[in-house]
């Protein structure tokens, strides 16, 4: 079977979106927004490039949910009118290419940058007073009021995302961020209704997902987990019972998708590991997006040979950063551009951002009106 005949290039319904293939661009923070967390024309150009192959689902970089949960320099946010208007330009451009777009949203919790906290005047918070590593800031323990307000902010973010033209929203409940800090016992030692048991540790995530579903409907809400990651001070001895609980809840909510990160990556570094996510496939019955260390051939095997009974899409992080026409290149078996790690987070810098070239083959097809 050729690559073009693979199930990888068959349509897939993800919530309200119908993709034309199963290659997804996952969230990748690139720090090119303004100092006030407003998306820029540089970002418009970047995302428009990556929407080049029609029917692609793009998930934005993680957006800050509110000023009190800020903490990444030049990351975009989704709480005010200017941010919504700037994102609207980007979603319009992506839609005009025939592609679709979900907004990823997060709170950083104890991972917030202390210099940003000082500059913007917010307090670094967490589930418990446990720093992410020795010597890092000890976060202030969130009160139940803080938790309730934060849940509402995520509900509002979902409404704002729809107003900004997104097809849906994805909650970042992995990669070491606040929501995951509540899920895991290594960072959550609370003795109230938000800690102390599997059920209680799931509560914050579940309440946020419920608030987003109430705001915009389940078919526009997805969630991302990294159960096996030992990134940024996380990593439970046995994550399976905890993640099984929250995956069951995600399934009961009928979310648009669950997005899982394999044990092959730790953040954006490759690691050797053989932990599987099979437990998750059995618990969530909707579409699953998988990310972490994929090549075109691994992705093809996964959807054509390993999980024929599942609706799986495969996300390519670093390769999508370096290849605006990634989907075309994989389909045609073309070589990929190498990514340059040093420009991943280069604040506001066009270099290493919008200058990765399209393939000659893609450009030729586009000139003929075939791409
Ligand atoms: C520069 C960079 C920024 C990232 N930012 C985010 C992010 O904002 N949210 C998120 O969920 N994952 C983020 N990730 C993780 C990617 O979505 C993806 O899971 C990871 O790169 C592994 O996939 P890959 O092996 O295809 O690169 C980031 C990765 C990179 C390389």
Q: Looking at residue 263, what is its pLDDT? A: 77
Q: What value does the mean pLDDT of the chain take?
A: 96
Q: Which atom of ligand 1 is nearest to the CA of 293?
A: 25
SS3 at position 362: helix
Which of the residue ranges 209-223, 297-311, 353-367 would you say has the lowest mean pLDDT? Answer: 297-311
Q: Looking at residue 188, what is its pLDDT? A: 98
Q: Looking at residue 67, what is its pLDDT? A: 98
Q: What is the mean pLDDT of residues 84-95?
A: 98
> Which residue shows structure tokens 């540089």?
42
- Looking at the predicted structure, is the pLDDT value of residue 270 above 80? no
> Which residue shows structure tokens 């070589």?
335
Give, for ligand 1, the residue of 317, 343, 345 to mutate: max count of ligand atoms closer than 8 Å to Cβ: 317
Q: Looking at residue 371, what is its pLDDT? A: 75
Kindly report the protein residue whose alpha carbon is nearest to atom 1 of ligand 1: 344
Q: What is the mean pLDDT of residues 82-108?
A: 98
For 33-62, how does the pLDDT look when each residue is reduced to its tens digit (9 = 90+)?
999 999 999 999 999 999 999 999 999 999
Q: Looking at residue 316, what is its pLDDT? A: 98
Distance 326 CA to ligand 1 centre (A): 16
Give, for ligand 1, the residue of 23, 268, 273 to mutate: max count of ligand atoms closer than 8 Å to Cβ: 268
- Looking at the predicted structure, is the pLDDT value of residue 276 above 90? no
Q: Which atom of ligand 1 is nearest to the CA of 174?
A: 11
Distance 269 CA to ligand 1 centre (A): 9
Q: Looking at residue 275, what is its pLDDT? A: 78
Q: Phi first, then psi: what are they for 365, rounded to 5°?
A: -65, -40
- Looking at the predicted structure, is the pLDDT value of residue 357 above 70? yes
Kindly report the protein residue whose alpha carbon is nearest to atom 2 of ligand 1: 28
Distance 358 CA to ligand 1 centre (A): 21
Q: Looking at residue 274, what is its pLDDT? A: 67
> Among candidates 317, 151, 287, 152, which has minimal Cα distance to 223?
287
Handedness of CA 293, 25, 267, 29 (dihedral sign): positive
| % of the chain with per-residue pLDDT over 70 | 98
The set of residues, in sequence order, having a beta carbon less than 8 Å from that of 115 and lying 6+ positions away, is: none
Q: What is the 3-state secondary structure (H, E, C) of 225-262?
A: ECCCCCCCCCCCCCCHHHHHHHHHHHHHCCCCEEEEEC
SS3 at position 315: strand
Q: What is the mean pLDDT of residues 295-299?
A: 95
- Looking at the predicted structure, is the pLDDT value of residue 297 above 90? yes
Give, for ligand 1, the residue of 23, 25, 28 to mutate: max count of ligand atoms closer than 8 Å to Cβ: 28
Kindly report the protein residue whose alpha carbon is nearest to atom 16 of ligand 1: 317
At the topology level, CATH places domain 3-367 in TIM Barrel (3.20.20)
Distance 55 CA to ligand 1 centre (A): 21
Distance 193 CA to ligand 1 centre (A): 32
- Looking at the predicted structure, is the pLDDT value of residue 10 above 70? yes
- Looking at the predicted structure, is the pLDDT value of residue 367 above 70? yes
Q: What is the mean pLDDT of residues 156-176?
A: 98
- Looking at the predicted structure, is the pLDDT value of residue 202 above 90? yes
Distance 144 CA to ligand 1 centre (A): 31
- Looking at the predicted structure, is the pLDDT value of residue 309 above 90? no
Q: Strand pairing partners for 101?
A: 58
Distance 367 CA to ligand 1 centre (A): 32
Distance 281 CA to ligand 1 centre (A): 21
For 236-253, how does the pLDDT look when each residue is reduced to its tens digit (9 = 90+)?
999 999 999 999 999 999
Q: Looking at residue 2, what is its pLDDT? A: 87
Boundaries of every domain in the chain = 3-367
Of the pLDDT bands very low, low, confident and very high (cuts 50, 70, 90), residue 273 is low
- Looking at the predicted structure, is the pLDDT value of residue 102 above 90? yes
> Among candidates 356, 360, 313, 363, which has minimal Cα distance to 337?
356
Kindly report the protein residue whose alpha carbon is nearest to atom 3 of ligand 1: 28
* Helix H or strand E encompassing 141: strand 140-141
Q: Which atom of ligand 1 is nearest to the CA of 104?
A: 9
DSSP conformational letter for 78: -
Q: Looking at residue 155, what is its pLDDT? A: 98
| Distance in angstroms (rounded) separating the CA atoms of residues 183 and 230 | 13
How big, in percent rounded to 5, are the helix, strand and coil portions of the chain?
Answer: 40, 15, 45
- Lookup: tokens for 330: 């994989």
Ligand 1 — pocket residues by CB below 6 A? 26-29, 61-62, 104, 172, 175, 224, 261, 265, 268, 291-294, 316-319, 344
- Lookup: tokens for 22: 């199963």
Q: Are 197 and 260 in contact (CB under 8 A)?
A: no
Angle 185-189-191 from CA coordinates, rounded to 5°: 125
Q: What is the mean pLDDT of residues 198-202?
A: 98
Distance 50 CA to ligand 1 centre (A): 15
Kindly report the protein residue whose alpha carbon is nearest to atom 18 of ligand 1: 317
Q: What is the mean pLDDT of residues 305-320?
A: 94
Q: How many residues does the chain have?
A: 371
Q: Looking at residue 104, what is its pLDDT? A: 99
Distance 26 CA to ligand 1 centre (A): 7
Of the pLDDT bands very low, low, confident and very high (cuts 50, 70, 90), residue 262 is confident
Q: What is the mean pLDDT of residues 203-216?
A: 98
């Amino acid at each position: 079977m050729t690559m073009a005949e693979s199930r990888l290039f068959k349509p897939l319904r993800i919530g309200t979106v119908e993709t034309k293939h199963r290659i997804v661009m996952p969230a990748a923070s690139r720090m090119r927004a303004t100092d006030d967390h407003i998306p820029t024309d540089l970002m418009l150009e970047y995302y428009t490039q990556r929407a080049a192959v029609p029917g692609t689902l793009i998930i934005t970089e993680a957006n800050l949910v509110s000023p009190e949960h800020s903490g990444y320099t030049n990351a975009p946010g989704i709480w005010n009118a200017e941010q919504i208007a700037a994102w609207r330009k980007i979603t319009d451009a992506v839609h005009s290419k025939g592609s679709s777009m979900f907004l990823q949203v997060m709170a950083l919790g104890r991972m917030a940058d202390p210099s940003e906290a000082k500059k913007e005047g917010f307090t670094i918070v967490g589930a418990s007073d446990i720093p992410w590593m020795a010597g890092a800031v000890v976060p202030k323990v969130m009160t139940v009021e803080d938790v309730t307000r934060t849940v509402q902010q995520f509900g509002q973010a979902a409404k704002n995302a729809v107003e900004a033209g997104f097809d849906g929203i994805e909650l970042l409940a992995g990669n070491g961020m606040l929501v995951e800090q509540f899920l895991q016992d290594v960072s959550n030692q609370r003795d109230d209704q938000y800690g102390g048991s599997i059920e209680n540790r799931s509560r914050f995530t579940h309440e946020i997902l419920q608030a987003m579903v109430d705001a915009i409907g389940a078919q526009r809400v997805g969630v991302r987990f990294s159960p096996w990651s030992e990134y940024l001070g996380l990593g439970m001895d046995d994550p399976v019972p905890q993640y099984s609980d929250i995956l069951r809840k995600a399934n009961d909510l009928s979310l648009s998708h669950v997005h899982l990160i394999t044990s092959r990556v730790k953040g954006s570094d490759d690691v050797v590991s053989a932990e599987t996510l099979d437990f998750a496939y059995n618990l969530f019955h909707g579409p699953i997006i998988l990310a972490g260390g994929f090549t075109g051939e691994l992705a093809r095997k996964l959807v054509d040979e390993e999980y024929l009974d599942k609706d799986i899409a495969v996300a390519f992080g670093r390769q999508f950063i370096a290849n605006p026409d990634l989907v075309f290149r994989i389909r045609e078996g073309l070589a990929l551009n190498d990514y340059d790690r040093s420009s991943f987070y280069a604040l506001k810098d066009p270099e290493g951002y919008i200058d990765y070239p399209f393939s000659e083959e893609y450009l030729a097809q586009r000139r003929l009106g075939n791409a």
